[in-house]
Amino acid sequence: MKSIGWIGTGVMGLSMASHLMDKGFKAYVFNRTSSKAQRLVDKGACLCASPREVADKADIIFTIVGYPKDVEEVYFSESGILKADIEGKVLVDMTTTEPAIAKRIYEAARLKGASSLDAPVSGGDRGAREATLSIMAGGDQDAFERALPCFQAMGRSIVLEGPCGSGQHTKMANQITIAGTMIGVCEALVYSRKAGLDMDRMLATISKGAAGCWTLDNLAPRVLRNDMEPGFMVDHFVKDLGIAIKEAGLMSLRLEGVELAKKLYEELQGMGLGRKGTQALALALDKVIENADNK
């Protein structure tokens, strides 16, 4: 494949598309706020007026947008991808969204002679910048193999998890794990500060033992620097946890830990911190402790 389309040039998408351009792919790009795609245009990408125009021009089309409603608009609206001539092309949605939407895209693409993959990612802004993302795909083997050279330009761990929707279900498992981990890491930071520990020394110590994890290595240091800018936004994490709870309900499961995490993150939204990174949970937990001290 000689050309790629890229729709969604936010915190993650900008770096991911840039890596593909570095590998020699001609790029057609679209973003609702066109200025956010300017760095790619300056690099040689062609700015398009709609997702449909991107899909008409590119061989393989990638999307990474914010919410399920955005995915539906990008694919199913009158100016969407599925209104383009997509026969023989591959559509790859890298947004974290609902498995049911991935299945709708798959069926609609198949009826037009195209293939689709749901391929959400994990690794945050740093993983996107450094091309070390974990990519979890759902769809057909042949479509996966066609997209694989592109995936290899963006990530390190690249796995076809199963049929369409499997990538999204795997991402839900990822987010469920992170939900509990984030609470543990942020509570540890708040506890350690209250105990008067040397925070850097404490982190260096526990990260070498059983507590060691990506969140501790990558996000805890940001908290110590008071850096709450997003690698992954609170608003998007609340969205993901809502999807996990919904999907669990469809399987007659209750995820009480995820429900607690969602409640805590909704408190962050109530504090006006929805566009901060998930590590900002430490601020909400700090506030709880301060309130308890003042009683």
How far is the C-alpha of 132 from the C-alpha of 185, rounded, in Å?
22
- Cβ atoms of 138 and 164 within 8 Å: the answer is yes
Active site residues: 171
Residue 277 CA: distances (Å) to CA of 124, 171, 196, 219, 222: 10, 18, 25, 9, 10
Concatenated DSSP letters for the chain?
--EEEEE--STTHHHHHHHHHHTT-EEEEE-SSGGGGHHHHHTTPEE-SSHHHHHHH-SEEEE--SSHHHHHHHHHSTTSGGGS--TT-EEEE-S---HHHHHHHHHHHHHTT-EEEE--EESHHHHHHHT-EEEEEES-HHHHHHHHHHHHHHEEEEEEEESTTHHHHHHHHHHHHHHHHHHHHHHHHHHHHHTT--HHHHHHHHTTTTT--HHHHHTHHHHHTT----SSBHHHHHHHHHHHHHHHHHTT---HHHHHHHHHHHHHHHTT-TTSBGGGHHHHHHHHHHHHHT-
Six token digits for residue 74 = 């990008």
How far is the C-alpha of 70 from the C-alpha of 86, rounded, in Å?
20
